[in-house]
């Protein structure tokens, strides 16, 4: 069975400091990995994805993520956090070899709080 873990319910960081949101996965097969962000009372916004190739993926709003196959991780990072980055972040995985319908398995979510 596929699973995605976001081990931290909440991450607190001061504005200007580096931000990391952790994600680990357990799947059978090669995963496609995604990060989404959700601001209050809004839908999910796509940030970035890893399909294949370079392990370092750059996305929207200065975010990046590194795919680490040996550690089965896909942590989201931003070098310098902004107060406006405060939101709920979701990691998601899909395994095309076992799913033909585009089903995403989401992590539980991590609330990011950036203080001025």
Partner 1 sequence: DTEVTQTPKHLVMGMTNKKSLKCEQHMGHRAMYWYKQKAKKPPELMFVYSYEKLSINESVPSRFSPECPNSSLLNLHLHALQPEDSALYLCASSHFGQATKETQYFGPGTRLLVL
Residues making contact with partner 1 (CB under 8 A): 32, 34, 36, 41-46, 49, 51-52, 88, 90, 94, 96, 101-104, 106-109, 111
How, if at all, do strands 44-50 and 32-38 pair? antiparallel
Task: Round to whole Å and give the CA distance between 5 and 101.
Answer: 22
CB of 23 to partner 1, least distance (A): 12
Identify the three-state secondary structure at position 81: coil
Measured from the CB atom, the residue of 25 and 36 that comes closer to partner 1 is 36
Measured from the CB atom, the residue of 19 and 92 that comes closer to partner 1 is 92
Task: Round to whole Å and give the CA distance between 63 and 81.
Answer: 10
CB of 45 to partner 1, least distance (A): 7
CB of 16 to partner 1, least distance (A): 27
Measured from the CB atom, the residue of 53 and 116 that comes closer to partner 1 is 53
Tokens 């995985």 sit at which residue? Answer: 93
Of 50, 61, 65, nearest to 87 by C-alpha is 61
CB of 43 to partner 1, least distance (A): 4
Measured from the CB atom, the residue of 15 and 106 that comes closer to partner 1 is 106
Cβ burial of 69 (10 Å; 0-12, 13-18, 19+) is exposed
């Amino acid at each position: 069975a596929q699973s995605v873990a976001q081990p931290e319910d909440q991450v607190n960081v001061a504005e200007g400091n580096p931000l990391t949101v952790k994600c680990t996965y357990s799947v059978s097969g090669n995963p496609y990995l995604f990060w989404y962000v959700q601001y209050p009372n809004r839908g999910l916004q796509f940030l970035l994805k890893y399909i294949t190739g370079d392990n370092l993926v750059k996305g929207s709003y200065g975010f990046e993520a590194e795919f680490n196959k040996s550690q089965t991780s896909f942590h989201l990072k931003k070098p310098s956090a902004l107060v406006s980055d405060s939101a709920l972040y979701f990691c998601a995985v899909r395994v095309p070899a076992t799913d033909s319908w585009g089903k995403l398995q989401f992590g539980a979510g991590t609330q990011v709080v950036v203080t001025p």
